[in-house]
């Protein structure tokens, strides 16, 4: 037979266990909800735009990436542009919802911003000379929920040819 104090402690321990388990369940449910908070995206078009620059020379090569509907969350993207002369430009970066134009389905990305430490020394001139409308063999666009740290698969991916 158990004493009154032991029964009281057992009840208390049982309540603490139930609270701990329900707390873990609640926390994992919240984590599951927050992990799925980004809407899926679908790519529709990508093209090189060259008429946006007004003389600075910084926006004479722009990649336009369009979706079925305007992205409402922040995504990460990777791009591979291959010209007909086999010049290859790779890059990546963040795509944020556009506060100034929330209904716009297309994002404009300055191609010069894709130049990175592994790009060829003359990358800027290669972009200027070869990455022009009508001279693109293919563009691969991959969209991720967050910056990939390993071998994560993209949530959206599409190859656009003969641009």
Please check whether residues 87 and 116 belong to one and the same domain.
yes
- Quick one: pLDDT at residue 22? 41
3-state secondary structure string across 77-125: EEEEEEECCCCEEEEEEEECCCCCCCCCCEEEEEHHHHCCCCCCCCHHH
Higher pLDDT, 119 or 57: 119
Confidence of residue 30 (pLDDT cuts 50, 70, 90): very low
Confidence of residue 1 (pLDDT cuts 50, 70, 90): low
Structural domains of the chain, count = 2
Host domain of residue 14: 1-37
pLDDT tens for each residue of 47-63:
998 877 666 667 889 99
Please check whether residues 29 and 49 belong to one and the same domain.
no
Query: Which CATH number goes with the domain that contains 74?
Result: 2.60.40
Mean pLDDT value across residues 27-54: 71
Please check whether residues 85 and 120 belong to one and the same domain.
yes
Beta bridge partners of 46: 65
Please check whether residues 74 and 120 belong to one and the same domain.
yes
Confidence of residue 99 (pLDDT cuts 50, 70, 90): confident
């Amino acid at each position: 037979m158990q004493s009154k104090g032991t029964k009281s402690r057992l009840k208390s321990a049982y309540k603490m266990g139930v609270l701990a388990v329900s707390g873990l369940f609640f926390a994992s449910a919240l984590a599951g909800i927050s992990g799925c908070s980004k809407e899926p995206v679908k790519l529709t078009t990508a093209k090189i735009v060259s008429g946006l620059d007004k003389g600075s020379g910084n926006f004479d090569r722009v990649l336009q990436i369009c979706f079925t509907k305007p992205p409402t969350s922040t995504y990460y993207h990777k791009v591979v542009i291959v010209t007909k002369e086999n010049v290859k430009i790779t890059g990546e970066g963040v795509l944020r919802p556009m506060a100034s134009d929330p209904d716009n389905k297309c994002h404009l990305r300055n191609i010069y911003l894709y130049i990175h430490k592994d790009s060829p020394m003359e990358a800027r001139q290669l972009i200027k000379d070869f990455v022009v409308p009508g001279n693109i063999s293919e563009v691969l666009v991959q969209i991720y929920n967050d910056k990939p740290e390993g071998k994560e698969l993209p949530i959206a991916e599409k190859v656009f040819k003969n641009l």
